[in-house]
Amino acid sequence: MSQLFWIADLVKKCPLINPSLLAADFANLASEIRAVEEAGAKILHLDVMDGHFVPNLSIGVPVVEAVRRSTELPLDVHLMLSEPQKYVRAFRKAGADLITVHIETLNDPRPLLEEIRGLGAAAGLAHNPPTAIEKLAPFLSDADIILTMSVTPGFGGQKFDRTVLDKIAVIKKHAPTNALISVDGGIDTHTIADCAKAGCHLFVAGTAIFGASDYAEQMRLLESQCRKNIQ
Ligand code: DX5
Ligand code: ZN
């Protein structure tokens, strides 16, 4: 599978912290984005929820469009939707550079991952904590990013589920070397080192960054924990 040049570039910059805007101040989104850019962010994570696949609602296409207008950073759009195939085109048009869909919503994720790549975006495949690694394993070569959820998706600020560390280690062992291995949920200065040890490169963090008084200092702390422990 050939890789998009900017994803290959991003892999080289890893480990990277991926701020999740879900925890940002939505009344001041543009200044929040500027603040994390100034703090060193190289990518932004946007959580899209449908109130069906997850018991919560968040943002949709117009907000992704608005974020696109306020930054040049790659936008990593995490679709927590029961029917992601209905929306990938719209999110790509809105400016998503990376589109992640959940394996729990698809019998065979390959056609949709291919469609996402055909639209010119990188394709991500996410899996929830209770989803068996055997369900994901056949598709590890079909995605640019493998996203392990380390909380039940739907809400920020939840406790990190340590049971996912074994799944991350299996992914690290079997995924192609150029795939980005990412983790999302409960990432902070206490949990990030174990994720790096297990094999993650890209760390989504919402509350840990936007809940901190100094974003740059928090990004530095998280990054240094990664660098000390990365595999
Ligand atoms: C949860 C979302 C996460 C969320 C993480 O369903 O997918 O991206 O923003 O938030 P924290 O870092 O607060 O756990
Ligand atoms: Zn997310």
Atom of ligand 1 nearest to the CA of 207: 13
CATH code of 218's domain: 3.20.20.70
203: containing domain: 5-229
- Which tens digit of pLDDT belongs to each residue from 210-220? 999 999 999 99
d(CA 147, CA 67): 22
pLDDT tens per residue, range 83-113: 999 999 999 999 999 999 999 999 999 999 9
Half-sphere exposure of 65 (CA within 13 A, CB side): 7
pLDDT higher than threshold 80 for residue 22:
yes
Does ligand 1 lie within 6 Å of residue 79's CB atom?
no
Q: Per DSSP, which regions of the chain are E strands?
A: 16-19, 44-49, 75-80, 98-102, 122-127, 145-149, 180-184, 202-205
Report CA(111)–ligand 2 centroid distance (Å): 22
Q: How confident is the model at residue 155 (pLDDT cuts 50, 70, 90)?
A: very high
Q: How confident is the model at residue 125 (pLDDT cuts 50, 70, 90)?
A: very high
The total number of structural domains in the chain stands at 1
Q: Is the model's pTM score more than 0.95?
A: yes
- Residue 3 confidence (pLDDT): 73
Q: E strands of 81-192, at which residues?
A: 98-102, 122-127, 145-149, 180-184
Predicted local confidence at residue 1, as pLDDT: 66
